[in-house]
Amino acid sequence: MASKQIVIVAVSGVLAGLGAVGVATGTAWLAGLALFVFLVVMAAVAADVHRKVGKAIAQIRAIEGQSSALGSSVSDFGRRLDAIERARESAVAELASLRSQLLTRFDLLNKEISVNSKRLAKAAEVAGEATVGLSVAMDSEARNIGRMLSRASNGLESNLLDIQQTVADSIRDSSSREMDQLITETDAILQLHRRLQFEGPVPLMGGWAMSAVGMKTLIDLAIEREVSMIVECGSGTSTVYLAMALQRAEMFDTRIVSLDALEVFAEATRSQLDALGLDVRVDVRVAPLESVVLDGETFRWYSASVTEDLSDIDLLVVDGPPGATGYMARYPAYPLLRDRLSSDAVIVLDDTNRDDERRAANRWLKDDSLRRSSGYPSRLYVLEYHSA
């Protein structure tokens, strides 16, 4: 900036000298040129000065704006400081109030602790006295219990000896009965094997199926009486053994009708018969259970539509439906099939070791046309029917 001003001053001096020379020599054009150049230089200087002045004014205005904004920020900062101060004063007041409340509660807690300490001390004193009394009482009771146990021990030893003897006698009797039953079942199985001359696998007896003794009884009745019509309530192992026995006895005209409530069991029986070639005279029927009312009671029994063609039944085997199907599930057999029996038919009721089957048989026996035959296994009721 300073060098620029020096140049302007030097140029102005030169122009002034040229003007003076022109005036002194009377050279007008030189003086005029010097003046013109001088004016141009001065105009340029004036323009430069004007520009700098404008720039300076703009800077001054910018500074004034920044000063205004700074003043506003300072004012806003002051307001925030005031708000912070008021919040601090409020927090100090709340802390003072909270401190006062805590001190008050602490005093109350100290008082309660003091009172409870006295109560605990009193309770401990009472408990100590009670413990002494309890100890004395327990010692006395222990002595009494000791005397009682001593007397009971003497009696218990005697009772244990009696119980031991009773259990031994019971086990001996039970073992004897079970052994007798096992021998009887084994003998029945051997007789069936000799009589039927099994060729290939046959259904097992026992469990859900009829026992070997029951099966032998059933076959003996069928063959000795030369029955023509057998109806089974419940198909299965007995169906297969009866068919096999009739075939061995060459009773080819004897017919067996076996009822079952479920297709799956009926089909299993048919498959066993077919495998042994015994299905010629056996009719396994699916007879779903339905409700029937007898003597004012409702029972579940085989569908009447499946049994309506049955007649002249010589041997009625009642081994179904299962007891789980309802109360006295097998009771309807005699009331509903009585009129389908032949004049000297026989009824065989299995599972009479159960209460429901015994109740059913006892109700049947109220009919004068029935009487129970003796000499058969205890699990079977063999009932003879004679029409009036």
284 has pLDDT over 80? yes
Q: Which amino acid is at 371?
A: R
* pLDDT at residue 125, as a whole number: 72
- Taking alpha carbons only, the member of 211, 205, 258 closest to residue 231 is 258
Residue recorded with tokens 């122009």: 15
Per DSSP (E only), the strands in the chain are 229-233, 255-260, 282-286, 289-294, 297-302, 313-318, 341-349, 370-373, 381-385
31 has pLDDT over 70? no
What are the b/e assignments for 2-39, b being 16+ CB within 10 Å? Answer: eeeeeeeeeeeeebeebbeebeeeeeeeebeebeebbe
Pairing of strands 313-318, 341-349: parallel
Distance CA 57, CA 11 (A): 29
pTM check: above 0.85: no
pLDDT in tens, 186-234: 655 666 556 666 665 666 555 556 778 888 889 999 999 999 999 999 9
The first and second tokens of residue 38, run together, are 């001088």
Cβ–Cβ < 8 Å for 361, 383: yes
Distance CA 203, CA 196 (A): 13
When pLDDT is averaged across residues 299-313 and rounded to a whole number, the result is 94
* pLDDT at residue 134, as a whole number: 60
Cβ–Cβ < 8 Å for 337, 370: no
Model confidence at 258, pLDDT cuts 50, 70, 90, reads very high
- DSSP-assigned states of every residue in 70-108: HHHHHHHHHHHHHHHHHHHHHHHHHHHHHHHHHHHHHHH
Bridge partners of 257? Answer: 231, 283
Burial class (CB in 10 A: 0-12, 13-18, 19+), 308: exposed
182 has pLDDT over 90? no
Model confidence at 269, pLDDT cuts 50, 70, 90, reads very high
Distance CA 8, CA 46 (A): 11
Model confidence at 36, pLDDT cuts 50, 70, 90, reads low
* pLDDT at residue 347, as a whole number: 96
Lowest mean pLDDT across 14-23, 257-266, 304-313, 365-374? 14-23
Cβ–Cβ < 8 Å for 283, 257: yes
- Taking alpha carbons only, the member of 382, 379, 377, 378 closest to residue 364 is 382
Of residues 145 and 143, more confidently modeled: 143
* pLDDT at residue 306, as a whole number: 94
* Mean pLDDT value across the chain: 77
- 197-385: CATH architecture: 3-Layer(aba) Sandwich (3.40)
Q: Which amino acid is at 365?
A: L
Cβ–Cβ < 8 Å for 373, 384: yes
Lowest mean pLDDT across 84-93, 119-128, 333-342, 374-383? 119-128
Q: Which amino acid is at 126?
A: V
Of residues 164 and 113, more confidently modeled: 113
Cβ–Cβ < 8 Å for 237, 211: no
* pLDDT at residue 278, as a whole number: 84
When pLDDT is averaged across residues 311-330 and rounded to a whole number, the result is 92
* pLDDT at residue 40, as a whole number: 67
Of residues 82 and 153, more confidently modeled: 82
Ranges of each domain in the chain: 1-148, 197-385
How far out from the chain centre does Cα 200 lie?
Answer: 47
18 has pLDDT over 80? no
Burial class (CB in 10 A: 0-12, 13-18, 19+), 337: buried
* pLDDT at residue 171, as a whole number: 47
Percent of the chain with pLDDT over 90: 33
Percent of the chain with pLDDT over 70: 61
